[in-house]
Amino acid sequence: MTFEFYTGLTAKEVPIIFKDEQLRIACSPDGICSDGSGLELKCPNNTDVFIDLALNGINAMKKEYVAQVQYSMWVTGKDIWHFANFDPRMPAGKEIAYFLVERDEKMMKEFDELVPEFIEVMDQGLNKLGIQFGNQWSVYGK
Does residue 137 lie in a domain region? no
Q: What is the mean pLDDT of the chain?
A: 93
Q: Is 13 a catalytic residue?
A: yes
Catalytic pick among 9, 30, 39, 40: 40
Q: Is 41 a catalytic residue?
A: yes
Q: What is the mean pLDDT of residues 93-104?
A: 95
pTM: 0.90
Does residue 70 lie in a domain region? yes
Does residue 18 lie in a domain region? yes
Q: How many residues does the chain have?
A: 142
- Give the pLDDT score at 45: 86
Catalytic pick among 4, 95, 110, 123: 4
pLDDT at position 87 over 90: yes
Does residue 39 lie in a domain region? yes
Tell me how many domains the chain contains: 1
What CATH number corresponds to the domain at position 43?
Answer: 3.90.320.10
Q: Is 40 a catalytic residue?
A: yes
- Give the pLDDT score at 73: 99
Catalytic pick among 9, 39, 41, 53: 41
- The DSSP bridge partners found for residue 11 are 33
Does residue 32 lie in a domain region? yes
Does residue 87 lie in a domain region? yes
Q: Is 4 a catalytic residue?
A: yes
| DSSP letters spanning 30-91 | SEEETTS-EEEEE--S-HHHHHHHHHHGGGGS-HHHHHHHHHHHHHH--SEEEEEEE-TTSP
Range of the domain at 77: 2-104
